[in-house]
Amino acid sequence: MRRVTLAAIAMLLAAPAFAHGNHGGLAAQYHNKPTAGAVPATGRQWLPGDHHIHSEFSADYQADPASPQTAPIPLLGKDGRYAIVKNAEMARQFGLRWMVSTDHGGPNHSKLNYEQAWPEVNRARTAVPEMLIFYGMEFDTPAGDHSSLIIPFTGDERDQLRAIEAGFSKREPWPRDPAWDTEGRMIDALKQMRDQKAPPVLIANHPSRSATGPFTWGQYTPAEFRNWNDTAPRVAIGMEGAPGHQASGLKPGGSRGGYRNSPTMGGFDQMTATLGGFWDSMLAEGRRWFITATSDSHANWRDGGNDFWPGEYAKTYVQARPDHGDIIDGLRSGRIFVTTGDLVSEVDVIATSGARTAGIGGTLMARKGRPVTVTIRLRDPAAANAAGNTPSVARVDLILGPITGPAANRSTDRAPGTAVAKRFTAADWQRDGEIITMAWQLPPLSGPAYLRVRGTSTAELEPTADPKGENPWDDLWFYANPIFIVAK
């Protein structure tokens, strides 16, 4: 564990602002204007959702051994089990306001999506009008694992997804073509997405499920994610912090998330959960690289599967108005916090310097030499979660790190300057019913920095590797996305 004193933080943040290099400065670097982020705003609220949900159109395939050149026949309901309408109904039952239908690809799957899945998405929109449903897919990522591809809600969504899937999803051609499974092809895909009239959002799924150990990366690597984010920073916006398949931990010997060789930590991927690890290394560059949490629902645990229903265990909250466009904007802008087990239902992190404020996903333009006050407000719901439990927040951590500029080594997965600046327990906060509030003052900053907040129901100071067969309901965490601070 790294914990630092006020004096040490002041020294830590005394690094000079980095020079403009290949990526430019903090604000210009990723073509984002500094925004206020998730601050209380008229018409915006915390809307829970899930961007990784499979339906019957995530097919298995049956090849014809007598005709190997013929594309295999898709077998519906074999991988993903449920109708899209059923997924939407269950998402509503477990409190979600938005969802994305994301079926696996496969040989000629773009035709299946276009002709069969898209009409079912529209049928679900009519059947469950309370649910804001996005059309998308779990993209078979060239030179990688899978990614949630979220298509903006426009009149062109059907054609837009077909063009991307038919042109770049690595499992689309038959016979398989190795030329479709290269990073160069993924970069070409991102360029096309970036230049579309309504660019989609792409989020890397279960990023280190294929890792063979701590910091021993598999199909996804730090350099790969940096290349994505450089190419299309408003498309490739982040990764699953907490993967789905968490109900596998309910089975004897089951691994949460299906992570066998490199276990999850408190239910979160090691790329997110490791303090000063990969996620912090991205934030230390000033990158807008955000995290989410999903169900990856294929088959519910009650039906013998490894999954919770959408919203049953994990939720991704986006601060947005209840419309498709503002939810997409919230994802792109990082107005996001995630939670498991309904540990919290609201998280507001507000950084203030003088009259200026910024919230989650935002940038605070602070004056050098002036203190920054961080106020954290949580809603710790009194109602029971889907397991019938009423977990409580046991601790909240304020994490702080300097922004040191573009990494010289694009494979880096460490941010040695990142540390827990303050640990809050019940003795440090005020409670008013379900609302918990706490505050802390940073020392005056002389250089750019970022802060983020996490919390847990456990006594673990740092999330530890999840043992096989761990009950996921006993190990709950929430994470808020960062606030960036520029001292001028």
Q: Is the pLDDT of residue 102 over 50?
A: yes
Q: Work out how many domains the chain is built from and give that number.
A: 1
Q: Is the pLDDT of residue 15 over 50?
A: no
Task: Decide if 31 is inside a domain.
Answer: yes
Question: Rounded distance, CA 211 to CA 413, Å?
Answer: 13
Choose between 445 and 28: higher pLDDT.
445
- Strands 290-293 and 430-432 come out as unpaired
291 beta partners? 239
Residue 20 sits at the vertex; the CA angle it makes with 15 and 22, to the nearest 5 degrees, is 120
Question: Rounded distance, CA 148 to CA 60, Å?
Answer: 19
pLDDT of the residue at 33: 65
**Is the Cβ–Cβ distance between 205 and 296 less than 8 Å?**
yes
Give the containing element (helix H, strand E) for 452.
Answer: strand 449-456
48 beta partners? 317
Task: Decide if 277 is inside a domain.
Answer: yes
What domain range includes position 120? 6-487
Q: Is the pLDDT of residue 325 over 50?
A: yes
Q: How confident is the model at residue 369 (pLDDT cuts 50, 70, 90)?
A: confident
Mean of the pLDDT values across residues 158-169? 98
Choose between 226 and 67: higher pLDDT.
226
Mean pLDDT, the chain, rounded, equals 93
Strands (E), 191-345: 201-204, 236-242, 290-293, 314-320, 336-340
Instruction: Report residue 208: phi and psi, to 5°.
Output: -120, 30
Q: Is the pLDDT of residue 405 over 50?
A: yes
Question: Smallest Cα–Cα separation from 30: which of 403, 438, 456?
Answer: 403
Mean of the pLDDT values across residues 31-57? 88
**Is the Cβ–Cβ distance between 115 and 76 less than 8 Å?**
no
Task: Decide if 1 is inside a domain.
Answer: no
Q: What letter represents residue 257's amino acid?
A: G
Question: Rounded distance, CA 419 to CA 397, Å?
Answer: 10
Question: Smallest Cα–Cα separation from 225: which of 179, 287, 270?
Answer: 287
pLDDT of the residue at 132: 98
Contacts of 31 (CB under 8 A, 6+ apart): 233, 234
DSSP H helical ranges for 136-221:
157-168, 183-194
**Is the Cβ–Cβ distance between 339 and 478 less than 8 Å?**
yes
Task: Decide if 177 is inside a domain.
Answer: yes
Q: What letter represents residue 464's amino acid?
A: T
Question: Rounded distance, CA 161 to CA 159, Å?
Answer: 6
Residue 256 sits at the vertex; the CA angle it makes with 90 and 182, to the nearest 5 degrees, is 90
Question: Rounded distance, CA 269 to CA 288, Å?
Answer: 18
pLDDT of the residue at 32: 54
Which CATH number goes with the domain that contains 389? 3.20.20.140
* pLDDT tens figures, 440-480: 999 888 799 999 999 999 999 999 999 999 999 999 999 99
164 beta partners? none
Task: Decide if 135 is inside a domain.
Answer: yes
pLDDT of the residue at 9: 40
Question: Rounded distance, CA 76 to CA 97, Å?
Answer: 27
